[in-house]
Structure 1
Amino acid sequence: MMKKHTTVDEINADSPQWAQPVLEELRQIMLNAGLKEAIKWGGATYVNQKNVVAMGAFKDFVSVWFFEGVHLSDPLGLLVAGGEKTRAMRQWRIPKGENFDAGMMLSYVLEAKENDAKGVKTAATPVVVPPMPDDLREALEAEPVVQAFFESLAPSHRREYIRHIIEAKKEETRMRRLQKCMDMMRQGLDMNARYRK
């Protein structure tokens, strides 16, 4: 289990030794840009009105994430999406042993801060709930209290229940999942409750 840090100093001290001076220089850039420092998701995050930038060190690189980086002008062409489905966040990777242009980093950070102040934001993808399978519909209709709970859930939570059931490959697995989902809903739990402590 990862150590829970309470300060950016602790995070930086636990980072690879080569990355520590890079992280400290980046930290000063963020603070000089007028961003507030916070610990979110176990990492250093810099906030204006909303989250603007986060950073972290890995084995071979330091990454600076711009939460709404897709809207940055990126004159150096350095920003990349973290994955195929990444919509808004972009990252600037600083490979081990390489330097970065502190002035350009500051200009990217200031542009990101300005965009945040203006409310520039990527529109959320609407949650598409798949059609309810007949067996789930019948089970819910047989228990009105559970049905009312299911209908009160956010679309994303309804989608998780439905997908968990319909993605089963075998009928016996599907029935077992349906029963488990009904049990969880009887307790007033969403699908992610099993991952919470």
Structure 2
Amino acid sequence: MAETDPRVQAFFDADEPFKDELQALRGILQRAPLSETLKWKSPCYTWENANVATIWRLKDHCALAFFKGVLLKDPEGLLHAPGENSQTMRKFIFKDVRQVAAFEQVIVSYVEEAISLEKAGVKVQQNRRDLVYPEELVQRMEQDDAFREAFEALTPGRRRGYLLHFCEAKQSATRVSRIARHTERILMGKGMHDK
């Protein structure tokens, strides 16, 4: 392990579910030539500043997620998309520390492959399906040039995140409310999950 971010220790020291499983995963990742930091409130493992993997504590399980997981060979079908809109990331779910130990060699091989992808500069070809701008967002952009410019200046991933969030609301009033709730963040150039 090249570098360690001291903020990460608090994550692992927290008296929360899956503490043992998360520490076991961390031990495996720390033996790889990765840097450890905290991103999106979770430990993130990078190779030369490129995101390789992250560890998540969720309600009913913990997970080791690979940012380019869709490119990893997964002959046993252990990796799963974290959500229905996930195009590139894949996660390996754990519920017991014995499961982490049983799959240690598989985890090591996935980590090594993920690092190799970064070293080779491999990019994921994402499905760039056109995302629909909801009418409420279009109206807001037509009425507020600063808001329109700020939204269009967001990175494609940040725009996509907002569009998915806005569009999943079934009622117009909810879409308007979501847009209003995130206006300040958009004007600051931040994504939904940025600090």
**So what's the TM-score if we normalise by structure 2?**
0.66
Paired residues of 1:15 and 1:58 also in contact (CA < 8 A): no
- AA of the residue aligned to 1:81: A
The aligned counterpart of 1:34 is: 33
| Number of aligned residue pairs | 172
CA distance in 1, matches of 2:192, 2:72: 38
What value does the CA root-mean-square deviation take over the aligned residues? 4.2
CA distance in 2, matches of 1:52, 1:196: 19
CA distance in 2, matches of 1:73, 1:36: 23
Q: Structure 2 residue aligned with 1:104, among 100, 103, 106?
A: 106
| 1:122 CA displacement | 1.9
The aligned counterpart of 1:56 is: 56
Identity %: 27
1:103-159 CA-to-partner distances (Å, cap 9, x unmatched) read 1110111101111121222235366464979x949x65xxxxx547735741739x8
- AA of the residue aligned to 2:21: V
Long gaps (5+) in structure 2: 154-158
SS of aligned partner of 2:80 = coil
| 1:24 CA displacement | 2.2
SS of aligned partner of 1:154 = helix
**So what's the TM-score if we normalise by structure 1?**
0.65
Does 2:92 match 1:95? Answer: no
CA distance in 1, matches of 2:29, 2:189: 37
The aligned counterpart of 1:84 is: 84
The aligned counterpart of 2:187 is: 189
SS of aligned partner of 1:34 = coil
- AA of the residue aligned to 2:12: N
